[in-house]
Amino acid sequence: MSTLTTPLAEAASSNAALRALLHGLPGVDRVGADQRAAMLGTRSIKTTAKARAIDLAISMVDLTTLEGADTRGKVRAMCAKAVRPDPGDPSVPKVAAVCVYPDLVEQAVQALGRSGVRVASVATAFPSGRSSLGVKVEDTAFAVAAGAHEIDMVIDRGAFLSGDYRKVYEEIAAVKAACARDGEGEDAHLKVILETGELATYDNVRRASWLAMLAGADFIKTSTGKVSPAATLPVTLVMLEAVRDFRAGTGRMVGVKPAGGIRTTKDAIKYLVLVNETAGPDWLDPAWFRLGASSLVNDLLMQRQKMATGRYAGPDYFTLD
């Protein structure tokens, strides 16, 4: 992209510079993007390919609970499932991470121990993001201190929609700084939630993706799951194009996480096809692509068992947590 020749720091130096860069990105034609996503949705993934896709999808899940009614017991139960999704079948891979509110991070870290499943925490006045920068940074620091490996922050959609890109940029950069762990351990990875359901246009999704990546996002994520529509295939397509182009322009690879509304194996496989044929196979790895979901795991397990045994077990054979 021609815009990439601008040094990144200079691009973010003022609101005008950011605006010039973001509005200089090629537009997204909604009809064409919808068509492309729908066409990829017709790919037929069967037999061995399906079996591999199911295991890959399980290993990419951020198993999520984000309710006011969440308790330590609920989080403990979810963590057990994250490590061993199917108690009867040790060959099922563990999920990528669990995703909880900041005050339950400590509980999750304890429950997961050395299992290798990461702990992600939403932060920054999730889900609306309507608070002061100080509170957002504090929220982040609290989760990081409790041991979160990943922070899922929300952007200030109000600022974005009113054209105050610099404010959005600065908030992301500040939260990114709060993800640093002084001294020991790796910094928390920052996932930036664009809340695409509130951004209204695909042009905005592309601009918000670039803004987040410029500000230091390690991942861009579609949704909080609290706003409808949450993740959709075309929105994810636009974001995958953005990370692909960003790597081509800067050399830095950024991950993508659709979240919310992904409930069936069929849905999950459509997302994997989208990744495969848009950003490319480099992104088909839990380090670079995640699925934010909760009920999806049981459907993946059910389909996995069906492929192995030829029969569907009833829902009672899969754990509810």
**Residues of the shown chain interacting with other proteins in the complex, contacts defined by CB under 8 A:** 1-2, 26-29, 31-33, 35-36, 42-50, 52-53, 56, 241, 272-273, 276-277, 281, 284
Angle between helices 296-309 and 47-59 (to 10 degrees): 150
Amino acid at 34: D
> Catalytic: which of 136, 191, 221, 270?
221
Is residue 306 part of the annotated active site? The answer reads no
Q: How is residue 139 written in tokens?
A: 């929220």
Helix or strand run (H / E) with residue 207: helix 202-214
What is the DSSP secondary-structure string of 231-259? Answer: --HHHHHHHHHHHHHHHHHHS---EEE-B
> Catalytic: which of 152, 203, 245, 299?
152
Q: Are strands 150-154 and 189-193 parallel, antiparallel or unpaired?
A: parallel
Nearer to other proteins, 26 or 87 (CB): 26
Is residue 46 part of the annotated active site? The answer reads no
Q: What angle do CA 218, 223, 225 make, to 5 degrees?
A: 130
Nearer to other proteins, 48 or 91 (CB): 48
> Measured from the CB of residue 178, what is the shortest distance to other proteins in angstroms?
34
Tokens 């090629």 correspond to 26
Contact 208, 194 (CB under 8 A): yes
For residue 180, CA distances in Å to 29, 189, 220 come to 38, 9, 18
119 three-class SS: strand
Is residue 152 part of the annotated active site? The answer reads yes
> Catalytic: which of 257, 267, 270, 299?
257
Query: How would you label 107-120 residue by residue, b for 16+ Cβ within 10 Å and e otherwise?
Result: bbbebbeeeebbbb
Nearer to other proteins, 55 or 103 (CB): 55
For residues 53 and 292, give the distance between their C-alpha atoms in angstroms, rounded to a whole number. Answer: 16
Query: How would you label 43-70 residue by residue, b for 16+ Cβ within 10 Å and e otherwise?
Result: eebeeeebeebbebbbbbbbbbbbeeeb
Per the DSSP assignment, residues forming a β-bridge with 152 are 122, 191
- Residue of 96, 136, 104, 159 lying closest to 289 (CA atoms): 96
Q: Which residues are catalytic?
A: 152, 221, 257
